[in-house]
A and B are shown apart, each in its own frame.
Chain A
Amino acid sequence: MAKMNYRKRLIDFDKRTVESPDGETFEVNPMQDYYCDAKPKVHPPSKIAPLETFYNWCRAESIFILGFGTGCGAIEMRPLMGPMYDASRFGVFWRPTPRQSTVFFIGGYASVKTLKRIVRSYEQMQGPKWVFAVCSCTINGGMYFDSYNTINRLDHYIPVDVYVTGCMPRPEAILDGIDTLKKRIKEGRGEGANKYAKNFEWYKANQKKIIKDWDMPDYNW
């Protein structure tokens, strides 16, 4: 009988009322996905100008990169992590989850299957967020410009702040790109997330044009 109860607890997918540690009671349905379906909003800069400068300095000096290798150029992230080029000197670190990261490093070509995951990860990142695209493939398709399965321009699907050309770029070029990104953020020009929120319909239409099995919520952060 005790075994029966144990089994029942393992496969209990019924609706139930749960009490939180704060004493609040709410209903939970384990068979339902919980996500935010609100559209992204434009976040205006702080009204106090010196404070915004300070915020931007903080953002620029602690760049957390999402460790998601989307293409062959992602191999260039590894020497940056190691002692040879040691990107942590410049306040650059890698994070394992989109929730903790601020910069999305797109390493090279993005196939349609990967783009779906890129969009999903990008939307899960918390703003302000920036996209750092390396290799020719993100700019104009590179050597995969006529491929049936590889996108040509990344900036039609998510907003890109800094491009680094090359096939593939050397780690020095990527460090230079990170420097450019820092300058842009400090000048208050890193407005990728706001651009995405402003032109949300256009980006979504472009994404849905090529991602045929759209089985995720429109905005899922």
Chain B
Amino acid sequence: METVLKNVRDRYNVLHETHTHGVFITVSPNDVIGLLAYLKNVEGFTHLVLLTAVDWIEENQFQLTWLVNNPVLKQEMGIRAFIERSVWPEESVMDSAHHLWPAAKTYQRELHEMFGIDFPDSPEVNEPLILEYWDQLPPYRRDFDTKKYSEETYFPREGRYTRDPKTHMEAKLYAREGKKQ
């Protein structure tokens, strides 16, 4: 793994590195596809485990993570890139990796639907995957209020209530001792 990391550091501008829970390296979005191709063709990371995104709304960024796996040496590596978070209905744009792994197109369809991240030239990226013809803010963006949407759309039944866990458990466990401070 050290030799792989050294080779990567020599060739690409690595912005950040963590080793706490597996190896994750952060590079700029322009370098990602080249790095993935290098890892796949030269270093033997031939398997794409997943591609996923995180919405960092405070930093106005999307974090994309590609997990790749070397099945021969049983190594796993994560590649991260931060792209700009667009304002809906404009979509953030990232390069597609479907020419390296055909399975990447399904992840890219999902990200397009759930986060509004576009991958130009990825096959079938504009077709609905899980949500059929969703016409609103993509639901995995953090500014989408899922409870409000559900209440407006799906006829909530009366009678649902929630308890504050702390006060409820205090009342239940220490009922005899009176009110605990």
B133 adjacent to A152 (CB under 8 Å): no
Interface residues of B (CB under 8 A from A): 128, 130-135, 139, 144, 146-147, 149-151, 153-157, 159-160
Q: CA separation between A208 and B66, bound complex, in Å?
A: 38
Residue of B nearest to A206 (CB): B155
Residue of B nearest to A151 (CB): B154
A153 CB contacts on chain B under 8 angstroms: 154-157
B135 adjacent to A148 (CB under 8 Å): no
Flag whether A112 is at the interface (Cβ < 8 A): yes
B157 adjacent to A113 (CB under 8 Å): no
A147 adjacent to B132 (CB under 8 Å): no
Interface segment, one of A45-53, A137-145, A175-183: A137-145
Interface residues of A (CB under 8 A from B): 112-113, 116, 139-141, 145-153, 156, 206, 209-213
Residue of A nearest to B128 (CB): A213
A152 CB contacts on chain B under 8 angstroms: 150, 154-157
Q: CA separation between A141 and B130, bound complex, in Å?
A: 19
27 chain-A/chain-B pairs, Cβ below 8 angstroms: A112-B132, A116-B132, A139-B157, A140-B156, A140-B157, A141-B154, A141-B156, A145-B160, A146-B146, A146-B147, A146-B151, A147-B150, A148-B149, A149-B131, A150-B150, A150-B154, A151-B154, A152-B154, A152-B155, A152-B156, A153-B154, A153-B157, A156-B155, A211-B132, A212-B132, A212-B133, A212-B135
B146 CB contacts on chain A under 8 angstroms: 146-148
Q: CA separation between A211 and B134, bound complex, in Å?
A: 10
A209 CB contacts on chain B under 8 angstroms: 153
Q: CA separation between A151 and B149, bound complex, in Å?
A: 11
A104 to chain B, nearest CB (A): 20
B154 to chain A, nearest CB (A): 4
Given contacts A147-B146, A151-B154, 13 further A-B contacts (CB under 8 A): A113-B131, A141-B154, A141-B157, A145-B156, A146-B151, A148-B146, A149-B130, A150-B150, A152-B156, A153-B156, A153-B157, A212-B132, A213-B132
A206 CB contacts on chain B under 8 angstroms: 155
Q: CA separation between A116 and B71, bound complex, in Å?
A: 41
Residue of B nearest to A144 (CB): B150
Q: CA separation between A23 and B131, bound complex, in Å?
A: 48
A210 CB contacts on chain B under 8 angstroms: 153-154
A12 to chain B, nearest CB (A): 30
B156 to chain A, nearest CB (A): 5
Residue of A116, A140, A141, A148 touching B139 (CB-CB under 8 A): A148
B133 CB contacts on chain A under 8 angstroms: 212-213
